[in-house]
Structure 1
Amino acid sequence: MFKWLAGKKSTEGSKPHSLMIDELKEQIKSQLNVGEDLTFRTIKRDGDKLVLSYMNSLIDTTTLDEFIIAPIQDNTHTEWTCEGIAQILPIANLSAQNQLDKVVEGINVGKVYIYVEGQPYGILGDVSKTVERGVEKAETESLVYGPKISFTESLIGNMNILRQNIKDINLCMEDLTVGTRTKTKAKLVYIKDIADEENVNAFREKISQLEIDYVAGTTVLGQLIENNSWTVFPQLVTTELPDRVTIALLHGKVVVLMDRSPDVLYGPSPFFTFFESTEDVYMRWNMGLALRLLRIFAAFLSVLLTPAYVAVLTYHYEVIPSPLLVSLGQSRANVPFPPMFEALLLEFFIELLREAGARLPTKVGQTMGIVGGIVIGQAAVNAGFTSNILIIIIALSALGSFTTPSYIMGTAIRIIRFPIILLAGFWGGIGIMLAFCFFIIHLLKLDTLGGSYLSPVYPLRWKDLGYSFFRVPTQYLSERPLTNHPIDAQRFSAQKVKKKDVDE
């Protein structure tokens, strides 16, 4: 029911009352303090009055003129009732409404409220104007093979992309609302006969229980619904690649889309998921296997290389071969700092260059990264601040972290290097082992939607290793990853594939 002005409140359960147009205007104005942007247009015919209420900056004026105003003015014989007007309007999204809060909410998102004076309710029609960019090439997750398009800020456009990729009637898209004030639209996406109901419920409950006024995007939403928000390791994947989301859905994962967010969130997402790339699927299996193992090894090398340099030069000279020890001594002869401070200083310079290159315009940022690295590195060596060997080690560590397909996981790897360098400087090899033991225990304690974060390595699932740690021929992946607890675990019949190979 409309909220009436003082002295005109209706009792609950009573028959809907009608309003005068002036009363309706005053009530809407009292709720929306937007000045001249709130527009009322009154149309009269044979003593009847009809008012259109809308926000001028949110609507498409062409749609309003052609599909709302023109049909109402041209159909002179149609009775001005809610049912009669609804029949002549060529708009798909129409709804009858007589509750003030719903009317105001509709106007605030780009709808027009059509009300005939004396009627018990009016009509909300969607004539919203959306500001969005077209489908473009992915920026943060570049690929050589596979589709190059990325998601955009349009929720409807992203849904359309997924529908084109998965033409399955069991693809479900549930409506969600995020943010108590912004009320951002979101979609919970999963394949009904594949995704585990517990994973779906976990997403649904965590999002519905959020009491926050504003959520900036899916990356922020992921932080809010993760079980451990203190760790640097992400527990849910965010991606801008539709084909990666398609593969995740077909493997039994659950996806969340948000309006005005170009990234998509999905889970469960164990640790090794962040080292997967869709190129591994499009390339031959042995090439994909080599590249995936290279990424994991590069990440391990990125974390270990600089701390090992600090530990060896501080405590463990005996492990260095004599010829290399001489060149190390000559390289560090003019360096006045201990290895730990030297390494931290170089790591800080690298992070400074990386951040500056990311914030500057693309062409300027690339030039800054290359020229700045060469100039600062050479100047630091000539000034005696660091050694040539450490420059090489720091560069290899940086390259190793950049091979990770997930930007968030690559950043986490770069962050954890700093405490490991400190421990290596204080306690040498023992400090490195202490740090690794701590991180392994920490990873074992983490979970993703209630599942193990180190799955399928712990608990060990041999069949799932082909989807995460290794890459095996597709014909041997007849079952979906058991880590996701899929309802329909069978992708295809392995016996038919083998029989076909034999016949050929």
Structure 2
Amino acid sequence: MILITKMKLVKKPMLAYFMDGTTSTNALVEKRIRYYKKITKDNNDVLYKNIPTNEGIVTIIFSQSLTDIKTLEIMVLIPLANYIHQIHQVAEYMNPSNIDEITQKLAIGETLLYFHETNQLLSIHTYSVKEREVTTSEMESTFIGPQDVFTESIQTNLSLVKRRIVNPMLKNEDLTIGSVSNTKITIIYIDDLVDKTSLEQLKSRLTKLDYPKFFDISTLMQLIEDNPYSLFPQYYMTVKPDTTSHYLADGRIVILMDNSQAALVCPTSFLEMFISAEDYYNRWPSASLVRSLRFFGFFLTIMITPTYISALTFHQEVLPYELLLNLQESRMKVPFSPLFEVLFIELIVEVLKEAGARMPAKIGQTIGIVGGIVIGTAAVEAGLVSNILIVIVATSALLSFLPPVFHMSNTSRTIRYVFILSAGIFGLFGQMLAFAWLIAHLLRVKSLGTPFMSPVIPRRMSDLMDSVVRFPISFLKRKSGISRSKKRSI
């Protein structure tokens, strides 16, 4: 009994313990504020303001770069002065001693309110930075259909999707990735359509990520792909909300990242890399024609210049006699072999592309057009390349930009050099070996566990109605096989 009595005599309130265990309320407040300032002393962006209220002094702590003054006034200052009870209703209560949570809240734009009299710490969402407005696309421009595109705000992008799919089964789950950047991402899917196995597999890959920084969704794509060493992108990347909504309605999974404009669609297939949302707004004959151009243009861009090398180096007999004479006449002054001639002009084209992309817009257009004409004409007159090769390389460069997914354009540019070297060493036989390697590689690649060559391998006849040739809309009533959707029909 004596022991129990002594324990009651020395018992102190839990809120009174902070740092050195003082029991004075004023000392406790001073200690807390001093310690908060200590942990944010190197961050001059964090401000402290003492506001007198009906409940005593309240210290407001906020990051001025992440909080707009008008938002702070509406959400915090006016309610503190007139409707302080509303603050307690809408705010989130925090542990005043949890330093990690406090710093995290400040980092994401929350405003903290520390009540001196009651020793309570509250958090209110006041994140309000300036965001880019919804504009038209410069990467995926279309003539028919919606013109709006995603921005770098994950909330804006999510709203653009939810405007198009008004369905209570549309779900989104938030995650934070990157041990340093703490980047927010959201996974979007339609619950009664999505394949649960694919969804759980994607979540598992995201939770196991071990990478410190994410500033664009392209980095995330490379880390969660089935075949990270492949040249081909295994997820469809788009900045169009209508394209994203189309794939969501098909049972796919979409990933959005804060501070990144694009969305990832998974799983996807090789054929879908040549499909644009505009194809569904056009009449089926014109849509089929454009799709065929994109699809076969990919193989043409990797085959045209290698075939030029093979024909002039090893297989002159495959060319018509008149064409062979024209080619030989155009190369009379060229001192290099066809292989080095092609490599030289291909590298010049790559330099012009990069220079035009990195320079200011007006100068870049001038460099791309004038530079190409001047350098091409000068190279032909100097006898460095043939004029026919200039036409072939220019055509090949244009064909490489046909796919709507820009990563696919980069892939075709890279693979073309493999075919060029194979043709320069082994001729047409080398080209066929490279082509066999390409097909074998595509058959091995998977996208979130599903074959990348769907619907061709494995074959589903209903999917072929929406592949290289797009059938009329009335035929497209089934979900694609690669989505593994629970509902097969629309």
Interval of TM-score (by shorter of Structure 1 and Structure 2): over 0.9
TM-score (norm 1): 0.90
RMSD across aligned positions (CA): 2.1
2:414 maps to 415
Q: Distance in 2 between matches of 1:162 and 1:480?
A: 19
2:46 counterpart residue number: 38
2:34 to 13, 26, 29: 26
Contact 2:16 2:28 in 1 (8 A): no
Q: Which residue of 1 aligns with 2:340?
A: 341
Q: Deviations over 1:309-338 (max 9, x none)?
A: 001100001111111111111111110000
Deviates more, 1:176-185 or 1:279-288: 176-185
Structure 1 counterpart of 2:70: 62
* Aligned partner of residue 400 in structure 2, secondary structure: helix
- Deviation at residue 390 of structure 1 after TM alignment: 0.8
C-alpha separation in 2, matches of 1:137 and 1:221: 25
- Does the CA contact (< 8 Å) of 2:148 and 2:240 recur in 1? yes
> What's the CA shift for 1:299?
1.1
- Note closer, same or farther for the CA distance 1:457–1:20 as it changes in structure 2 (3 Å cut): same
Q: Say which is worse superposed, 320-329 or 238-247, in terms of deviation.
A: 320-329
Where structure 1 has 5 or more consecutive residues not aligned to the other structure, the ranges are 10-16, 492-504
Residue pair 1:181, 1:213 contacting (<8 A) in 2 also: yes
* Structure 2 match to 1:97: 94
- Cα offset, 1:71, TM superposition: 2.3
One-letter amino acid matched to 2:250? H
Contact 2:339 2:420 in 1 (8 A): yes
* SS state at 1:227 partner: coil
Partner of 1:429: 428
Instruction: Mark the CA change 1:47 to 1:248 in structure 2 (over 3 Å): closer, same or farther.
Output: closer
Residue 19 and residue 216 in structure 1: after superposition, are their counterparts in 2 closer, same or farther (change >3 A)?
farther
Assess, with a 3 A threshold, how the Cα gap between structure 1 residues 97 and 226 changes in structure 2: closer, same or farther: same
- TM-score normalised by the chain length of structure 2: 0.92
CA distance in 2, matches of 1:241, 1:285: 21
What whole-Å deviation, never above 9, does each CA across 1:267-321 have from its counterpart, x for those lacking one? 1111111100111100001110111011111111101110000011000011111
Provide the rounded CA distance (Å) in 2 between the counterparts of 1:2 and 1:249. 50
- Aligned positions of 1:135-284 closer than 5 A: 135-284=134-283
Q: Distance in 1 between matches of 2:389 and 2:452?
A: 34
- Deviation (angstroms), 1:460: 1.4
Cα distance change, pair 49–396 in 1 and its aligned pair in 2 (3 A): same
- The answer to whether the 8 A contact 1:423-1:432 is kept is yes
Return the alpha-carbon distance in structure 1 between the equivalents of residues 54 and 455 of structure 2: 74
Instruction: Give the letter for the 2:307 counterpart.
Output: A
Distance in 1 separating the partners of 2:131 and 2:53: 39
CA contact (8 A) 1:3 1:100 kept: no
Structure 1 residue 5, shift from structure 2 partner: 5.3
CA deviation after TM superposition for structure 1 residue 3, in Å: 12
| Structure 1: distance between partners of 2:301 and 2:214 | 33
- Is 1:19–1:118's contact at 8 Å kept on the other side of the alignment? no
* Separation of aligned partners in 2, 1:165 and 1:126: 27
* Corresponding residue SS for 1:123: strand
1:41-95 CA deviation, whole Å, 9 max, x = no partner? 22345793321111222212122223312222235xx6xxxx77414xxxx5x21
Contact 1:21/1:51, CA 8 A, preserved across alignment: no
Q: SS of the counterpart of 1:468? A: coil
Preserved contact between residue 142 and residue 278 of structure 2 (Cα < 8 Å): yes
Contact 1:2 1:100 in 2 (8 A): no
Q: Give 1:26 deviation, angstroms.
A: 2.7
> Structure 1: how far apart are the matches of 2:380 and 2:73?
70
Change (3 A) 1:33 1:442: farther
Q: Report how many residues are paired.
A: 473
Q: CA deviation at 1:128?
A: 1.8
Q: Deviations over 1:18-51 (max 9, x none)?
A: 9832222233233334344222222345793321
Counterpart CA distance in 1 for 2:361 and 2:304 is 30
Q: Any unmatched runs of 5+ in structure 2? A: 1-13
Cα distance, 1:377–1:488 mapped onto 2, change above 3 Å? same
Identity %: 36
